[in-house]
């Protein structure tokens, strides 16, 4: 049913329909509205979950790990410093192969303290073994939760997933969102069917230590599961499309790319602005397009290479920076395009919530046309 | 005689005479098989679970050094939603309990999860090579509080964690010693059958870290109680209920001299002043808990 919902509430409604049995979360702006909404649903008996009011994000994810290991479907949400506080547990959850789904309301990392949006937080956890999906709008943000659970819990995957959407820009924005019925989601997403759980009737040890004789093989298994998740994501995304009319089979999505000379590459809510700017530039006769990255982990290198095959210049809009190098998305795109001769220019943009307008996208296109890239876009040099 | 089956199996890699290994075996006798054990990173995790082997005959999980109480919170919550009734029992060392894990323990106890948290207290970070923890007693020589020309060892007294957790509203708090097996088993049985968050701190001498022969573990454990430096007591709803009484309490020297970690108090010469301070700690314990059998 189509409803006008705040982004956070659209996500909470989706999470509710995924029927998590245990929720553990700690409030942090701009994630708070999600967990408040879920707490209300539990309080009103609309959602049959145990809601653990933990004392920190560290404990939130630790409690999720325990609940998952004991056989329950679990959920958490966080952002920025909260995600940083979970750092150690994030690696542990992936290593212990618990298919936990967590929403990230993307927010800048301090210092300086900043509550507004960029994607530095989740990008900084890119190597933890979690799948990372990025949403352009609130419809996609809510839909990706159904898909994330189904992919994460697939016995060929068994990896945790982050569903990332931009703080404030999406979390606090009201948009029309189609929320499927509980019956429809029940038909799409079966109950959690764990492989190995803590059970006194069948004792086993979980989370043991491994010497050099075994550790590397555990890491290899995680990497192989990541590779298998590509196919599972495509299948689940296609199935979702057949059922609900919104196709998520692609880990990337092209917009007016077919005859483009210059292509933007971006993740998250900025893609909407870029699409509008592209429409304007197209009217001016400029052959520009967009490649939206929906899955950052696993990174769809083959799809990126195929999608950008006919393009001469690529302008990556990175809402993050790997300090001492470039933006993280640009590095991935460069790797994907290695050997093709396509020029990849990187623009660090909109850090800490700075607004991006259509004219900024057009300005980036102009810079890219001149071959000027690999820089912060929109720096206020007068305050440096 | 037929060997009784054990839930903590032989074949683990603990040192001969390991107090914590004995404690684990006794703890599981108290919990019985309908139990899920949550561990922290530490000595016991390493000596009992080198992949692909395990000494645990009950479901066992280890996540990190500091999060056992939070992991246990999630397990308890998950079991509740599934209508299952296993006991959830944390078995963690003193570093994981007194220091790095306090946040998670405080949160779990404040929320009142139905769990039993058991600390095997060997009074230092033994797995990494005998560094001081918040459970290390006054004047103990550790690698991070070494006795030296200007130092008599650890400068601070042991943190009173049982009191801290009793103040959280714990249903049941007890101290025990692996040197008194039946008492320990009975306390574990009581804890796992008491609803709410319960805490047991088990004195578990470490022959390697404390510096005594592995054949003397029980003797050293008993000396701690017999001198008043360790008190075995129970608290229910914040009130002290039972205290193990001691007749003719022994001077603390007998306990201190048995261990290399206090050797600097006796060699090259006796440090009367420091020994007197430690005797004062034992005397205070005896007074506060009514240890002396009159």
Quick one: A227 and A332 in the same domain?
Answer: no
What are the backbone dihedrals phi and psi of residue A311, each rounded to the nearest 5 degrees, phi first? -95, 140
To the nearest 10 degrees (0 to 180), the angle between helices A57-69 and A87-95 is 10
Stretch A351-373: mean pLDDT, rounded?
Answer: 97
Instruction: Tell me how close the Cα of B150 comes to any Cα of chain A, in angstroms.
Output: 38
Q: Which residues of B touch A68 (CB under 8 A)?
A: 74, 78
Strand partners, A376: A348
The answer, yes or no, to whether residue B124 has pLDDT greater than 70, is yes
| pLDDT digit string, tens, across residues A175-195 | 999 999 999 999 999 999 999
Last residue of a domain, one of A220, A244, A268: A244
Residue A115 counted as domain residue: yes
All domains of chain B, ordered by start, with CATH? Answer: 19-289 (3.40.50.970)
For residue B182, CA distances in Å to A40, A274, B32, B177, B179 come to 48, 72, 14, 10, 9
Residue A6 counted as domain residue: yes
Stretch A17-44: mean pLDDT, rounded?
Answer: 98
Q: Which residues of A touch B54 (CB under 8 A)?
A: 204-205, 208
Quick one: A221 and A268 in the same domain?
Answer: no
Residue A212 counted as domain residue: yes
- Interface A-B: count of C-beta contacts within 8 A: 161
What is the C-alpha separation between A304 and A253, in angstroms, rounded? 9
Q: Which positions in chain B have a beta carbon within 8 angstroms of at least one beta carbon in chain A?
A: 33-36, 38, 45-46, 49-52, 54, 56-64, 66-67, 70-82, 84, 86, 103-104, 106-108, 110-111
Q: What pLDDT score does A251 carry?
A: 98
Residue A383 counted as domain residue: no
Q: Which residues of B touch A58 (CB under 8 A)?
A: 66-67, 70, 103-104
The mean pLDDT value of chain B amounts to 97
Quick one: A206 and A266 in the same domain?
Answer: no
Q: Which residues of B touch A69 (CB under 8 A)?
A: 61, 71, 74-75
Selected residue with higher pLDDT from A1 and B149: B149
Which residue's entry shows tokens 């509710």? Answer: A16
Quick one: A240 and A292 in the same domain?
Answer: no
Stretch A333-349: mean pLDDT, rounded?
Answer: 97
Quick one: A124 and A55 in the same domain?
Answer: yes
| pLDDT digit string, tens, across residues B221-272 | 999 999 999 999 999 988 999 999 999 999 999 999 999 999 999 999 999 9
Which residue's entry shows tokens 């839909």? Answer: A143
Instruction: Tell me how close the Cα of B201 comes to any Cα of chain A, in angstroms.
Output: 22
Q: Which CATH number is A336's domain given? A: 3.40.50.920
Quick one: A327 and A212 in the same domain?
Answer: no
Cβ distance A246 to A139 under 8 Å?
yes
Of B64, B71, B104, which is closest to A88 when you measure between CB atoms?
B64
Split into its structural domains, chain A has a count of 2
Contact B52 A22 (CB under 8 A): no
| B143 band by pLDDT with thresholds 50, 70 and 90 | very high
Stretch B145-165: mean pLDDT, rounded?
Answer: 97
The answer, yes or no, to whether residue B2 has pLDDT greater than 80, is no
Q: What pLDDT score does B294 carry?
A: 84
| pLDDT digit string, tens, across residues A146-180 | 999 999 999 999 999 999 999 999 999 999 999 99
Residue A14 counted as domain residue: yes
Percent with pLDDT over 90 in chain A: 100
Stretch A241-263: mean pLDDT, rounded?
Answer: 98
Q: Per the structure block, which two tokens stand in for B72?
A: 């246990």
Which domain covers residue A165, as residue numbers?
2-244
Stretch A84-89: mean pLDDT, rounded?
Answer: 98
Contact A92 B51 (CB under 8 A): no
Q: What pLDDT score does A327 carry?
A: 98
Quick one: A203 and A263 in the same domain?
Answer: no
| B1 band by pLDDT with thresholds 50, 70 and 90 | very low
Q: Which CATH number is A219's domain given? A: 3.40.50.970
With CA atoms as reference, the chain A residue closest to B33 would be: A200
Quick one: A282 and A226 in the same domain?
Answer: no
What is the C-alpha separation between B76 and A101, in angstroms, rounded? 20
Stretch A124-136: mean pLDDT, rounded?
Answer: 98
Q: Which positions in chain A have a beta carbon within 8 angstroms of at least one beta carbon in chain B?
A: 21-22, 24, 48-50, 52-56, 58-59, 62-72, 74, 88-89, 92, 96, 198-200, 202-211, 214
Contact B80 A50 (CB under 8 A): yes
Quick one: A33 and A120 in the same domain?
Answer: yes
Q: Which residues of A touch B38 (CB under 8 A)?
A: 66
Q: What pLDDT score does B4 carry?
A: 61
Q: Prior bond to A112 cis, omega within 30? A: yes
Strand partners, B239: B236
What ipTM score was computed for the predicted complex, to two decimals? 0.97
Quick one: A55 and A182 in the same domain?
Answer: yes
Which residue's entry shows tokens 């006795």? Answer: B147
| pLDDT digit string, tens, across residues A284-293 | 999 999 999 9
With CA atoms as reference, the chain B residue closest to A64 would be: B74
- DSSP H or E segment with residue A261: none
| pLDDT digit string, tens, across residues A325-338 | 999 999 999 999 99
Residue A381 counted as domain residue: no
Residue A384 counted as domain residue: no
With CA atoms as reference, the chain A residue closest to B86 would be: A200
DSSP string, A19-51: --SEEEE---TTTHHHHHHHHHHHHTTSS--EE
User: In which region does residue B55 sit, left (phi positive, over 0), alpha (psi from -120 to 50) or beta (all else)?
Assistant: alpha
Quick one: A267 and A224 in the same domain?
Answer: no
Q: What pLDDT score does B5 carry?
A: 81
Of A69, A207, A208, which is closest to B75 when you measure between CB atoms?
A69
Q: Which residues of B touch A96 (CB under 8 A)?
A: 63
Task: Suggest the residue from B63, B104, B168 to mutate for an interface test with chain A (most A CBs closer than 10 A).
Answer: B63
Contact A67 B75 (CB under 8 A): yes
Instruction: Tell me how close the Cα of A78 comes to any Cα of chain B, in angstroms.
Output: 17
Residue A382 counted as domain residue: no
Cβ distance A328 to A123 under 8 Å?
yes
Instruction: Tell me how close the Cα of B190 comes to any Cα of chain A, in angstroms.
Output: 20
With CA atoms as reference, the chain A residue closest to B58 would be: A203
What is the C-alpha separation between B135 and B249, in angstroms, rounded? 23
Stretch A210-220: mean pLDDT, rounded?
Answer: 97
Q: What pLDDT score does A314 carry?
A: 98
Instruction: Tell me how close the Cα of B192 comes to any Cα of chain A, in angstroms.
Output: 15
| pLDDT digit string, tens, across residues B61-76 | 999 999 999 999 999 9
Of A21, A71, A205, which is closest to B49 when you measure between CB atoms?
A205
Q: Which residues of B touch A208 (CB under 8 A)?
A: 45, 49-52, 54, 62
3-state helix, strand, coil in chain A (%, to 5): 40, 20, 40
- Number of Cβ within a 10 Å radius of residue A252: 19
Q: Per the structure block, which two tokens stand in for B259?
A: 């261990």
Q: Which residues of B touch A196 (CB under 8 A)?
A: none
The number of residues making up chain B comes to: 294
Q: What pLDDT score does B6 carry?
A: 93
| pLDDT digit string, tens, across residues B94-103 | 999 999 999 9
Contact A198 B63 (CB under 8 A): no
Last residue of a domain, one of A187, A209, A244: A244
Contact B111 A52 (CB under 8 A): yes
Cβ distance A23 to A50 under 8 Å?
yes
The answer, yes or no, to whether residue B23 has pLDDT greater than 60, is yes
Q: Per the structure block, which two tokens stand in for B28?
A: 């599981």
With CA atoms as reference, the chain B residue closest to A62 would be: B71
Last residue of a domain, one of A244, A272, A303: A244
| A1 band by pLDDT with thresholds 50, 70 and 90 | confident
- DSSP H or E segment with residue A344: strand A343-348
- Tell me the CB-side half-sphere exposure of residue A28, using CA atoms within 13 A: 30
The number of residues making up chain A comes to: 384
Quick one: A76 and A197 in the same domain?
Answer: yes
Cβ distance A165 to A171 under 8 Å?
yes
């Amino acid at each position: 049913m189509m409803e006008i919902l705040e982004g956070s509430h659209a996500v909470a409604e989706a999470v509710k329909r995924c029927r998590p049995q245990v929720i553990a979360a700690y409030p942090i702006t701009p994630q708070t509205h999600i967990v408040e909404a879920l707490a209300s649903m539990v309080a009103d008996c609309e959602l049959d979950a145990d809601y653990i009011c933990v004392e920190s994000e560290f404990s939130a994810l630790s409690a999720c790990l325990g609940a998952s290991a004991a056989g329950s479907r679990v959920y958490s949400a966080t952002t920025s410093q909260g995600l940083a506080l979970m750092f150690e547990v994030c690696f542990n959850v992936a290593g212990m192969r618990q298919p936990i789904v967590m929403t990230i309301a993307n927010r800048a990392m301090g210092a300086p303290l900043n509550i507004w949006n960029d994607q530095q937080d989740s990008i900084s956890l890119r190597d933890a073994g979690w799948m990372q999906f990025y949403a352009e709008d609130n419809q996609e943000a809510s839909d990706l939760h159904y898909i994330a659970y189904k992919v994460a819990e697939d016995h060929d995957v068994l990896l945790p997933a982050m569903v990332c959407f931009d703080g404030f820009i999406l979390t606090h924005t009201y948009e029309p969102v189609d929320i499927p019925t509980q019956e429809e989601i029940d038909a799409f997403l079966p109950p959690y069917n764990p492989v190995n759980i803590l059970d006194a009737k069948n004792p086993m040890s979980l989370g043991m230590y491994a010497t050099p004789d075994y550790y590397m093989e555990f890491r290899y298994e995680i990497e192989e599961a990541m590779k298998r998740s590509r196919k599972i994501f495509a299948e689940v995304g296609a199935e979702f499309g057949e059922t609900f009319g919104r196709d998520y089979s692609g880990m990337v999505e092209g917009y007016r790319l077919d005859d483009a000379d210059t292509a933007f590459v971006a993740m998250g809510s900025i893609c909407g602005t870029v699409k509008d700017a592209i429409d304007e530039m197209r009217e001016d006769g400029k052959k520009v397009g967009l490649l939206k990255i929906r899955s950052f982990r696993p990174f769809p290198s083959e799809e990126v290479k195929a999608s950008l095959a006919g393009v001469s210049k690529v302008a990556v809009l990175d809402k993050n920076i790997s300090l001492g190098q470039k933006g993280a998305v640009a590095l991935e795109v460069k790797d994907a395009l290695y050997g093709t001769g396509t020029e990849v220019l990187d623009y660090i943009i909109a850090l800490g919530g700075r607004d991006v307008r259509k004219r900024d996208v057009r300005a980036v296109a102009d810079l890219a046309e001149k071959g000027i890239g690999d820089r912060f876009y929109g720096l206020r040099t007068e305050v440096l | 005689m037929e060997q009784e089956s054990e839930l903590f199996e032989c074949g683990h890699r603990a040192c001969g005479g390991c107090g914590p290994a004995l404690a684990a075996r006794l703890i599981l006798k108290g919990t019985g098989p309908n139990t899920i054990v949550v561990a922290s990173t530490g000595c016991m995790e390493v000596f009992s679970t080198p992949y692909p082997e395990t000494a645990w005959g009950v479901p066992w999980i280890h996540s990190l050094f500091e999060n056992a109480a939070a992991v246990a919170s999630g397990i308890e919550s998950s079991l509740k939603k599934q209508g299952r009734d296993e006991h959830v029992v944390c078995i963690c060392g003193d570093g994981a309990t007194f220091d790095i894990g306090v946040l998670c323990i405080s949160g779990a106890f404040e929320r009142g999860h139905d769990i039993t948290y058991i600390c095997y207290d060997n009074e230092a970070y033994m797995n990494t090579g005998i560094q001081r923890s918040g459970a290390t007693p006054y004047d103990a020589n550790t690698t991070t509080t070494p006795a030296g020309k200007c130092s008599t060892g650890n400068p601070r007294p042991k943190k009173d964690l049982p009191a801290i957790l009793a103040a959280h509203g714990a249903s049941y708090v007890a101290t025990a010693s692996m040197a008194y097996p039946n008492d320990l088993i009975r306390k574990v049985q009581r804890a796992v059958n008491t609803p709410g968050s319960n805490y047991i701190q088990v004195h578990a001498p470490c022959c390697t870290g404390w510096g005594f022969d592995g054949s003397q573990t029980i003797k050293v454990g008993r000396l701690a109680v017999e001198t008043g430096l360790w008190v075995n007591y129970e608290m229910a709803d914040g009130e002290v209920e039972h205290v193990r009484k001691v007749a003719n309490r022994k001077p603390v020297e007998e306990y201190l001299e048995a261990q290399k970690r206090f050797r600097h108090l006796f060699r090259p010469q006796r440090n009367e002043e420091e020994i007197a301070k430690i005797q004062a700690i034992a005397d205070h314990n005896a007074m506060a808990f009514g240890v002396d059998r009159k």
